[in-house]
Chains A and B, each alone.
Chain A
Amino acid sequence: DAGVIQSPRHEVTEMGQEVTLRCKPISGHDYLFWYRQTMMRGLELLIYFNNNVPIDDSGMPEDRFSAKMPNASFSTLKIQPSEPRDSAVYFCASSWRGGLDEQFFGPGTRLTVL
């Protein structure tokens, strides 16, 4: 397996634009997590899915953020409209049993909003 795949790896956009981040989890993993990492706030969980269903989105900063998982092999995190404070590295991770198992992280998307 190629591991968790994320695209794009880098994204530079202007304030107000829509940004879509993509993730392909490891095949067979039932859980998918979206994290955001910044120097100030560390590694924050935004949302996680179990069997394609969003379970906990309490970490999503505001309505500008949305996430979907239309099938077991694909998820998106969308920011609309983007703001400079959204600049961060966004990681997708997957696991078999959620908090009871190791999580496999993707390489991340470095987002810069100008």
Chain B
Amino acid sequence: GQQVMQIPQYQHVQEGEDFTTYCNSSTTLSNIQWYKQRPGGHPVFLIQLVKSGEVKKQKRLTFQFGEAKKNSSLHITATQTTDVGTYFCAGPDYGGATNKLIFGTGTLLAVQP
């Protein structure tokens, strides 16, 4: 079945360092979404990318959708302690319908002050 993998599973950085997580799908995606889950919290939507090669920025966060629409990345510049959490990518399931999301395995980011 369709799989969405993320690397790394875990990353520990010093505050101020940059961070990148990568997302790879086994199938082409019509769109990719990114979510953030703070420790003890619930996933919260960050952004959706739709176009091949699309790049979007939200302050220190840069999101990119690959040309083949099978991979994506999230880059955080100059991490802060508020960036701590697990970052998930998610894409629509093409196994039967596009109405459910397949979530990636997630990357847990720890930021040391």
**A interface with B by C-beta (< 8 Å):** 31, 33, 42-43, 45, 48, 50, 55-56, 91, 93, 97-108
Contact = CB atoms under 8 A, between A and B. Distances in A.
Contacts of A100: 30-31, 92, 98-99
B105 A105 contact: no
Contact of B101 (A50, A99, A106): A99
A25 B96 CA distance: 24
B55 to A, nearest CB: 19
A55 B99 contact: yes
B106 interface: yes
Contact of A102 (B33, B41, B106): B33
A66 to B, nearest CB: 19
B99 to A, nearest CB: 3
Prevailing SS type, chain A contact patch: strand
Interface of B: 30-31, 33, 41-45, 48, 88, 91-93, 96-103, 105-106
Contacts of B101: 45, 99, 103
Contacts of A107: 41-42
A43 B42 CA distance: 11
Nearest to A89: B42
A55 B97 contact: yes
Nearest to B106: A42
A56 B97 contact: yes
Given A98-B98, A99-B93, 11 more contacts: A33-B100, A42-B103, A42-B106, A45-B101, A56-B97, A91-B42, A98-B100, A99-B98, A100-B30, A101-B48, A107-B41
B22 to A, nearest CB: 16
A48 B100 CA distance: 8
Contacts of A55: 97, 99
